[in-house]
Amino acid sequence: MQLEDAQLAARDGALATLIAETGGVNAMIVDSSALPEQVVRDTLTSAFNSAGQRCSALRLLCLPEHTADEIVRMLTGAMDELVIGDPSLLATDVGPVIDGDAHAMLTRYVAEHERAVVHRCVLSAAHEHGLFVAPTVIALLRAAALTREVFGPILHVVRYRPDRLDALVDEINGLGYGLTLGVHTRIDSTAKAIAARARVGNVYVNRNMIGAVVGVQPFGGMGLSGTGPKAGGPHYLPRFATERTVTTNTAAVGGNATLLSLDAGHEA
Protein backbone atom coordinates (compact mmCIF):
# COMPACT_ATOMS: atom_id res chain seq x y z
CA MET A 1 0.00 0.00 0.00
CA GLN A 2 2.90 2.38 0.69
CA LEU A 3 4.16 1.89 -2.88
CA GLU A 4 0.75 2.70 -4.35
CA ASP A 5 0.50 5.81 -2.15
CA ALA A 6 3.89 7.01 -3.36
CA GLN A 7 2.94 6.42 -7.00
CA LEU A 8 -0.28 8.37 -6.59
CA ALA A 9 1.54 11.25 -4.93
CA ALA A 10 4.17 11.42 -7.68
CA ARG A 11 1.83 11.30 -10.67
CA ASP A 12 1.11 14.40 -12.75
CA GLY A 13 -2.41 15.73 -13.16
CA ALA A 14 -5.48 15.67 -11.00
CA LEU A 15 -5.68 13.72 -7.77
CA ALA A 16 -6.87 10.16 -8.37
CA THR A 17 -9.98 8.78 -6.71
CA LEU A 18 -8.84 6.11 -4.27
CA ILE A 19 -10.88 3.24 -2.88
CA ALA A 20 -8.52 1.00 -0.95
CA GLU A 21 -8.78 -2.56 0.30
CA THR A 22 -5.68 -3.38 2.30
CA GLY A 23 -5.91 -7.00 3.46
CA GLY A 24 -6.61 -8.31 6.90
CA VAL A 25 -5.94 -10.66 9.77
CA ASN A 26 -9.01 -12.76 8.98
CA ALA A 27 -10.37 -15.12 11.61
CA MET A 28 -12.75 -18.07 11.58
CA ILE A 29 -14.62 -18.73 14.82
CA VAL A 30 -15.79 -22.31 15.33
CA ASP A 31 -18.13 -23.38 18.13
CA SER A 32 -18.76 -26.86 19.52
CA SER A 33 -21.93 -27.35 17.45
CA ALA A 34 -20.08 -27.03 14.13
CA LEU A 35 -19.57 -30.04 11.87
CA PRO A 36 -15.82 -30.87 12.07
CA GLU A 37 -15.69 -32.21 8.50
CA GLN A 38 -17.14 -28.99 7.14
CA VAL A 39 -14.79 -26.90 9.29
CA VAL A 40 -11.78 -28.78 7.93
CA ARG A 41 -12.94 -28.51 4.32
CA ASP A 42 -13.62 -24.78 4.54
CA THR A 43 -10.40 -24.17 6.47
CA LEU A 44 -8.31 -25.86 3.78
CA THR A 45 -9.99 -23.81 1.05
CA SER A 46 -9.83 -20.53 2.95
CA ALA A 47 -6.26 -20.82 4.22
CA PHE A 48 -4.39 -22.61 1.43
CA ASN A 49 -6.11 -21.99 -1.91
CA SER A 50 -3.98 -19.68 -4.08
CA ALA A 51 -1.15 -20.50 -1.63
CA GLY A 52 -2.89 -18.30 0.92
CA GLN A 53 -2.34 -15.24 -1.27
CA ARG A 54 -5.83 -13.77 -1.06
CA CYS A 55 -6.61 -10.71 0.99
CA SER A 56 -9.70 -12.54 2.30
CA ALA A 57 -7.78 -15.72 3.20
CA LEU A 58 -8.11 -17.31 6.61
CA ARG A 59 -5.20 -16.44 8.92
CA LEU A 60 -6.54 -17.27 12.40
CA LEU A 61 -8.60 -20.35 13.23
CA CYS A 62 -10.32 -20.11 16.64
CA LEU A 63 -11.37 -23.45 18.12
CA PRO A 64 -13.20 -24.35 21.36
CA GLU A 65 -10.86 -25.96 23.85
CA HIS A 66 -12.78 -29.23 24.15
CA THR A 67 -13.02 -29.94 20.40
CA ALA A 68 -9.76 -28.36 19.21
CA ASP A 69 -7.62 -31.52 19.38
CA GLU A 70 -9.94 -33.52 17.15
CA ILE A 71 -10.33 -30.75 14.58
CA VAL A 72 -6.58 -30.12 14.45
CA ARG A 73 -5.96 -33.85 14.00
CA MET A 74 -8.40 -33.97 11.10
CA LEU A 75 -7.00 -30.76 9.62
CA THR A 76 -3.38 -31.88 9.65
CA GLY A 77 -4.34 -35.22 8.13
CA ALA A 78 -6.16 -33.43 5.32
CA MET A 79 -3.18 -31.10 4.79
CA ASP A 80 -0.98 -34.10 4.08
CA GLU A 81 -3.22 -34.91 1.12
CA LEU A 82 -2.65 -31.51 -0.50
CA VAL A 83 -0.77 -31.58 -3.79
CA ILE A 84 1.89 -28.86 -3.96
CA GLY A 85 3.20 -28.04 -7.40
CA ASP A 86 2.52 -26.47 -10.78
CA PRO A 87 -0.66 -24.36 -10.54
CA SER A 88 -1.40 -24.93 -14.23
CA LEU A 89 -2.19 -28.58 -13.44
CA LEU A 90 -5.72 -29.41 -12.31
CA ALA A 91 -4.38 -31.85 -9.71
CA THR A 92 -2.45 -29.10 -7.89
CA ASP A 93 -3.91 -27.72 -4.67
CA VAL A 94 -1.15 -25.28 -3.66
CA GLY A 95 1.19 -23.47 -6.02
CA PRO A 96 4.19 -21.18 -5.43
CA VAL A 97 4.04 -17.75 -3.82
CA ILE A 98 4.21 -14.62 -5.92
CA ASP A 99 7.91 -13.70 -5.80
CA GLY A 100 11.24 -14.10 -4.05
CA ASP A 101 10.56 -11.42 -1.46
CA ALA A 102 7.33 -13.14 -0.40
CA HIS A 103 9.11 -16.50 -0.23
CA ALA A 104 11.92 -15.09 1.91
CA MET A 105 9.51 -13.34 4.27
CA LEU A 106 7.32 -16.40 4.78
CA THR A 107 10.28 -18.75 5.20
CA ARG A 108 11.77 -16.41 7.79
CA TYR A 109 8.44 -16.09 9.61
CA VAL A 110 8.03 -19.87 9.95
CA ALA A 111 11.62 -20.19 11.20
CA GLU A 112 10.99 -17.50 13.82
CA HIS A 113 7.93 -19.43 15.08
CA GLU A 114 9.47 -22.90 14.78
CA ARG A 115 8.66 -23.85 18.39
CA ALA A 116 4.98 -23.14 17.84
CA VAL A 117 4.65 -25.09 14.56
CA VAL A 118 1.94 -27.73 14.94
CA HIS A 119 2.18 -29.15 11.45
CA ARG A 120 3.95 -28.42 8.19
CA CYS A 121 3.49 -30.13 4.85
CA VAL A 122 6.54 -31.84 3.38
CA LEU A 123 8.22 -30.31 0.35
CA SER A 124 10.06 -32.71 -1.93
CA ALA A 125 13.22 -32.21 -3.97
CA ALA A 126 11.00 -31.21 -6.89
CA HIS A 127 10.05 -28.04 -5.02
CA GLU A 128 13.60 -26.83 -4.38
CA HIS A 129 13.78 -24.77 -7.57
CA GLY A 130 10.47 -22.95 -7.14
CA LEU A 131 9.02 -20.38 -4.77
CA PHE A 132 7.11 -22.96 -2.77
CA VAL A 133 6.18 -22.47 0.88
CA ALA A 134 4.85 -25.51 2.72
CA PRO A 135 1.35 -25.06 4.17
CA THR A 136 1.95 -24.63 7.89
CA VAL A 137 -0.10 -24.50 11.09
CA ILE A 138 1.23 -22.42 13.99
CA ALA A 139 -0.30 -22.43 17.49
CA LEU A 140 -0.90 -19.16 19.31
CA LEU A 141 -1.86 -18.62 22.93
CA ARG A 142 -4.08 -15.65 22.12
CA ALA A 143 -5.68 -14.10 19.06
CA ALA A 144 -4.00 -10.80 19.94
CA ALA A 145 -0.60 -12.38 19.29
CA LEU A 146 -1.19 -12.17 15.53
CA THR A 147 -0.48 -8.48 14.98
CA ARG A 148 -0.05 -8.38 11.20
CA GLU A 149 -1.15 -10.06 8.01
CA VAL A 150 1.07 -13.00 7.02
CA PHE A 151 0.33 -13.27 3.30
CA GLY A 152 0.85 -16.90 2.41
CA PRO A 153 -0.12 -20.52 3.24
CA ILE A 154 0.35 -20.13 6.99
CA LEU A 155 -2.55 -20.73 9.37
CA HIS A 156 -2.55 -19.77 13.04
CA VAL A 157 -4.68 -21.71 15.52
CA VAL A 158 -5.87 -20.42 18.88
CA ARG A 159 -8.03 -22.20 21.45
CA TYR A 160 -10.69 -20.41 23.45
CA ARG A 161 -13.08 -21.13 26.28
CA PRO A 162 -16.70 -21.15 25.02
CA ASP A 163 -17.80 -18.94 27.93
CA ARG A 164 -15.40 -16.28 26.63
CA LEU A 165 -16.78 -16.08 23.09
CA ASP A 166 -17.66 -12.38 23.38
CA ALA A 167 -14.18 -11.65 24.70
CA LEU A 168 -12.67 -13.53 21.74
CA VAL A 169 -14.64 -11.42 19.25
CA ASP A 170 -13.55 -8.27 21.07
CA GLU A 171 -9.94 -9.44 20.92
CA ILE A 172 -10.21 -10.00 17.17
CA ASN A 173 -11.77 -6.55 16.80
CA GLY A 174 -8.86 -5.17 18.79
CA LEU A 175 -6.42 -6.25 16.07
CA GLY A 176 -7.69 -3.25 14.10
CA TYR A 177 -8.32 -5.11 10.85
CA GLY A 178 -11.81 -5.78 9.54
CA LEU A 179 -12.00 -7.53 6.18
CA THR A 180 -13.51 -11.02 6.49
CA LEU A 181 -14.71 -13.24 9.33
CA GLY A 182 -15.83 -16.85 9.18
CA VAL A 183 -18.31 -18.42 11.59
CA HIS A 184 -19.01 -22.15 11.88
CA THR A 185 -21.97 -23.01 14.07
CA ARG A 186 -25.32 -24.76 13.81
CA ILE A 187 -26.89 -22.32 16.27
CA ASP A 188 -28.46 -19.38 14.45
CA SER A 189 -28.43 -17.11 17.48
CA THR A 190 -24.67 -17.62 17.88
CA ALA A 191 -24.00 -16.72 14.26
CA LYS A 192 -26.15 -13.60 14.52
CA ALA A 193 -24.54 -12.51 17.79
CA ILE A 194 -21.00 -12.87 16.40
CA ALA A 195 -21.90 -11.07 13.17
CA ALA A 196 -23.44 -8.20 15.13
CA ARG A 197 -20.45 -7.86 17.45
CA ALA A 198 -17.67 -8.23 14.87
CA ARG A 199 -16.32 -5.15 13.11
CA VAL A 200 -15.68 -6.59 9.66
CA GLY A 201 -16.88 -5.94 6.13
CA ASN A 202 -17.83 -9.52 5.18
CA VAL A 203 -19.06 -12.32 7.45
CA TYR A 204 -19.31 -15.85 6.05
CA VAL A 205 -21.36 -18.40 7.99
CA ASN A 206 -20.80 -22.14 7.49
CA ARG A 207 -18.83 -21.73 4.25
CA ASN A 208 -15.36 -20.77 3.10
CA MET A 209 -14.15 -17.18 3.36
CA ILE A 210 -12.82 -16.55 -0.15
CA GLY A 211 -14.30 -15.94 -3.58
CA ALA A 212 -16.89 -13.22 -2.98
CA VAL A 213 -18.99 -12.76 -6.14
CA VAL A 214 -19.12 -9.12 -7.21
CA GLY A 215 -22.71 -7.96 -7.48
CA VAL A 216 -23.90 -10.73 -5.17
CA GLN A 217 -21.58 -10.37 -2.18
CA PRO A 218 -20.22 -6.78 -2.10
CA PHE A 219 -16.65 -6.95 -0.82
CA GLY A 220 -14.64 -4.60 1.35
CA GLY A 221 -13.41 -3.95 4.86
CA MET A 222 -13.08 -1.36 7.58
CA GLY A 223 -10.42 -0.15 9.96
CA LEU A 224 -6.94 -1.15 8.75
CA SER A 225 -8.56 -3.30 6.04
CA GLY A 226 -9.76 -0.55 3.76
CA THR A 227 -11.51 2.70 3.09
CA GLY A 228 -14.44 3.65 0.90
CA PRO A 229 -17.53 1.71 -0.26
CA LYS A 230 -17.55 -2.02 -0.90
CA ALA A 231 -16.74 -3.32 -4.40
CA GLY A 232 -19.92 -4.54 -6.05
CA GLY A 233 -22.10 -2.63 -3.61
CA PRO A 234 -24.67 0.09 -4.37
CA HIS A 235 -22.35 2.97 -3.43
CA TYR A 236 -19.22 1.85 -5.29
CA LEU A 237 -19.72 3.34 -8.76
CA PRO A 238 -20.96 6.79 -7.58
CA ARG A 239 -17.76 7.08 -5.53
CA PHE A 240 -15.83 7.48 -8.81
CA ALA A 241 -18.09 10.27 -10.05
CA THR A 242 -17.42 13.97 -9.43
CA GLU A 243 -20.34 15.82 -7.89
CA ARG A 244 -20.91 19.40 -9.11
CA THR A 245 -22.99 22.23 -7.65
CA VAL A 246 -24.28 25.37 -9.39
CA THR A 247 -25.47 28.23 -7.17
CA THR A 248 -27.19 31.32 -8.66
CA ASN A 249 -27.72 34.63 -6.88
CA THR A 250 -31.13 35.68 -8.27
CA ALA A 251 -30.89 39.11 -6.66
CA ALA A 252 -28.04 39.99 -9.04
CA VAL A 253 -30.51 40.10 -11.97
CA GLY A 254 -33.12 42.12 -10.15
CA GLY A 255 -34.79 39.31 -8.33
CA ASN A 256 -38.02 39.63 -10.39
CA ALA A 257 -39.77 36.41 -9.49
CA THR A 258 -42.33 36.77 -12.34
CA LEU A 259 -39.66 37.07 -15.02
CA LEU A 260 -37.68 34.26 -13.49
CA SER A 261 -40.68 31.95 -13.45
CA LEU A 262 -41.51 32.81 -17.08
CA ASP A 263 -37.92 32.11 -18.08
CA ALA A 264 -37.98 28.78 -16.27
CA GLY A 265 -41.24 27.88 -18.02
CA HIS A 266 -39.76 28.76 -21.42
CA GLU A 267 -36.72 26.52 -20.79
CA ALA A 268 -39.00 23.67 -19.77
The catalytic residue positions are 21, 55
Alpha-carbon span 47 to 56, nearest angstrom: 9
Exposure string over 160-193, b if 16+ CB within 10 A, otherwise e: beeeebeebbebbbebebbbbbbbbbeeeebbeb
Q: Are 67 and 75 in contact (CB under 8 A)?
A: no
Q: From CA 176, how far away is CA 171, in angstroms rounded?
A: 9
CA pair distance 18, 30, nearest whole angstrom? 35
Q: What is the CA radius of gyration of the chain?
A: 25
Cα–chain center distance at 174: 16
